[in-house]
Amino acid sequence: MPKLFILTLSLLPWIPAFLCKIRTDGEHEVLEGESLMIPCHYEPQYAGYVKYWCRGNMRDFCTSLVRSDDTHPPNPDEDKVSFSDDPVQQVFTVSMKNLKEADSGWYMCGVEIGSVWSRDVITSIHIKVVHGISVVNSHVSGEEGSSVTVECLYSERYRESEKKWCRSGNWTCLLTGTEGSYEDTSVTISDDRTRTFTVTIKKLQLKDAGWYWCSSGHQKTSVYVQVTPRPSTTTVSMTSPLTPSQSVEHLPPPKSITKESWNSHSHILESLLVCASLMLLVGMVILAIKLWKQRSPRYPFLEQDPVLRQVREENARISYSGDVEDLENVAVIFPNKGSQGIRLH
């Protein structure tokens, strides 16, 4: 039992560190000569405690750089390290400027507890200061006909070096020269001598898309330029019945009738007219034949002989009169020449 009690007492200083931590980004990389701001977030119960920023990765051997209870007023123009605390947001911010390679190493955000039984609440951050060149955005995009700007950052030692903008693949480079600038109809390069030079590509064309390099000295970093095609259709905003944010695309204009298109269509029309005329003529012939058959006698040769025509008329009269007694007075004449009128008895 005494051993368990002693073990518990030995762990008490570490309990707050596990339960109530300070949160921040664990590692930062920055170009030489640049500045860095580091936020350290703490728990609400530590709002009234003293905060500090020190260099080292062990609390007992950490060199204090700035504390929230420093009595001298901060001077941002002279102080390399500055400090601000916001108890409402539960965060204190450390600012470091004009960093050198010698500033690389481990640092700590800490909350001073000031108790025998509790250790300070701390968290470690690693800062790496490098020399070279980088870009704000490694991928930029612009519409065909517009412009894009690339911001290239360089470290302090390359302040006076010549800056280059190169096309990857054909290794064509544009140089700033001694004046720190370059300009032509398509590209403008400007070096402000404060660790930034900008490249502006004007009047973008689709062929401008591809990989490029920002370069200074022996250092370089890549940038990809994307060019999107210009829209081929225009839109017209409608106020009614559509909302202002809506738009209607123009329909493509109707195709005009040319001489060639008319000739190709005229051949088709001529063929249709010929077919229609033939069908009409055939129909008229068929109709004429039917009418002729209806009006013509069954035996046309009877119409040519007057004797036979008289016989046919007498037969028709007898069939419609219905008087049988008259049959005795009817003479039947046969077409034979030798025959004479024969009376029926």
DSSP 87-106: TTTTEEEEEE-S--GGG-EE
Q: How sure is the predictor about 261, in pLDDT bands with cuts at 50, 70 and 90?
A: low
- State both tokens at 188: 């403008």
Whole-angstrom distance, CA of residue 128 vs CA of residue 134: 15
Query: pTM value?
Result: 0.51
Task: Give the tens place of pLDDT for each residue, 210-254.
Answer: 999 999 888 888 999 999 998 876 554 444 454 544 444 444 555
Whole-angstrom distance, CA of residue 164 vs CA of residue 223: 13
Whole-angstrom distance, CA of residue 22 vs CA of residue 121: 7
Radius of gyration of the chain (CA): 56
Question: What is the DSSP secondary structure assignment for residue 250, as one 8-state letter?
Answer: P
- Fold match, 2-130 / 133-228: yes
- Tell me which H or E stretch contains 163: strand 163-167
Contacts of 69 (CB under 8 A, 6+ apart): 50
Residue 195 near residue 154 (C-beta atoms within 8 A):
yes
Contacts of 157 (CB under 8 A, 6+ apart): 32, 131, 217
Domain ranges of the chain: 2-130, 133-228, 279-345
User: CATH number of the domain at 2-130, out of 3.65.10.10, 3.40.50.300, 2.60.40.10, 1.10.3720.10?
Assistant: 2.60.40.10
DSSP string covering 6-70: HHHHHHGGGHHHHHS--B--SEEEEETT--EEEEEE--GGGTTSEEEEEESSSGGGPEEEEETT-
At residue 103, does pLDDT exceed 90? yes
What does the pLDDT read at residue 297? 56
Helix, strand and coil percent figures for the chain, each rounded to 5: 30, 35, 40
Q: How many CB atoms lie under 10 A from the CB of residue 180? A: 15
Least confident among 19-23, 38-42, 328-332: 328-332
What does the pLDDT read at residue 95? 92
Helical residues (DSSP H) of the chain, grouped into ranges: 2-11, 15-19, 259-295, 306-321
Long-range contacts of 253-261 (CB under 8 A, 24+ apart): none
The Cα-based distances of 320 to 239, 296, 306, 315, 317 in angstroms read 90, 22, 21, 9, 5
At residue 8, does pLDDT exceed 50? no
Query: What CATH code is assigned to 133-228?
Result: 2.60.40.10
- Tell me which residue of 173, 172, 186, 58 sits closest to 110, measured CA to CA: 58
Q: Which residues pair with 126 in a beta bridge?
A: 27, 106
Main-chain phi, psi angles of 39, to 5 degrees: -90, 135
Task: Give the tens place of pLDDT for each residue, 135-184.
Answer: 888 899 999 999 999 999 998 888 888 899 999 887 788 999 878 889 99
Identity of the residue numbered 60:
D
- Tell me which residue of 177, 174, 193, 195 sits closest to 185, measured CA to CA: 174
Q: How many CB atoms lie under 10 A from the CB of residue 234? A: 8
How many residues comprise the chain? 345
